[in-house]
Copies of this chain bind each other. A is one copy, B any other.
Amino acid sequence: MNIKLYSAWYCPFAQRTWIALEMLGLDYTYIEIDPYDKTEHWMEISRGKGQVPVVEFSDGKANRVRVPDSIRSLEFLNDLAAGQFWNNAPTLRADQRYWLDHINGWIVPQFYRFLKAPVGSAQSQESRTALSEGLASLETATVGRGSAIDAKHPGMLDVALFPFAYRMNLLLPYYKSFRPLAHASSLGDWFGEMCRSEDVRATSAQVEYYDDQLLQFYEPYAAGGGQEDVTTIAN
């Protein structure tokens, strides 16, 4: 069994897949890629998308596949490892998917909108409120349910949210005076516990001065630059 992860160290989407590989206990080779360098080789590997993460898999026999997209790769790796990222009850699994779409279609774009908005602007105010409300609704609607985020039994939602929660907590207080998550709250407790997980730590340990590097990497975004497409809100 041969798994390759094409990733960029700073990318929260790629970190999702990386965390999943660790949590599921799969052997893999990490390959650092500059996704913006659209070489022929990279476009072929990423199936024309030019985005990290991509998971490449072969069992040496007939089974081969290249999986671009972070959620699709999470689903694939979970299937491959017969993992527990989904709840077994159909209604709770549907709930997990609903909140997964909420993370991807609301929380993630509002995070980027807030990060890019000039301090004091109307967009800053709106996206700060939208982000806070998006996090609060995830927290309250799923609390005590088998579909909730749960650092003790991490699943699809925990892995999908964490890399963005980490960047929120690092970048937004520094650049935008956002109150960090790590206060007494179930989301704050979840965040602290996820940060202490060995599987999560393995995905940041290879980069020296990780937080400093991230702060530096995202500086152009915090000044309003960077890509626009990550700020698009789903229906």
A residues adjacent to B (C-beta < 8 A): 47, 49, 51, 57, 59, 63-65, 67-69, 72, 75-76, 79-80, 89-91, 93-95, 97-98, 101, 229, 235
Contacts and interface: CB of A to CB of B under 8 A. Distances in A.
Q: Which of A47, A63, A67, A91 has the most CB of B within 10 A?
A: A91
Nearest to A49: B235
A90 B80 contact: yes
Given A51-B235, A57-B91, A76-B93, 14 more contacts: A49-B235, A63-B89, A63-B91, A64-B91, A65-B94, A65-B95, A69-B101, A72-B94, A72-B98, A75-B94, A76-B94, A76-B97, A79-B90, A79-B94
B93 A79 contact: yes
A135 B51 CA distance: 23
A91 B65 contact: yes
19 contacts: A47-B98, A57-B91, A63-B89, A63-B90, A63-B91, A65-B95, A65-B98, A68-B98, A69-B101, A72-B94, A72-B97, A72-B98, A72-B101, A75-B94, A75-B97, A76-B91, A76-B93, A79-B90, A79-B94
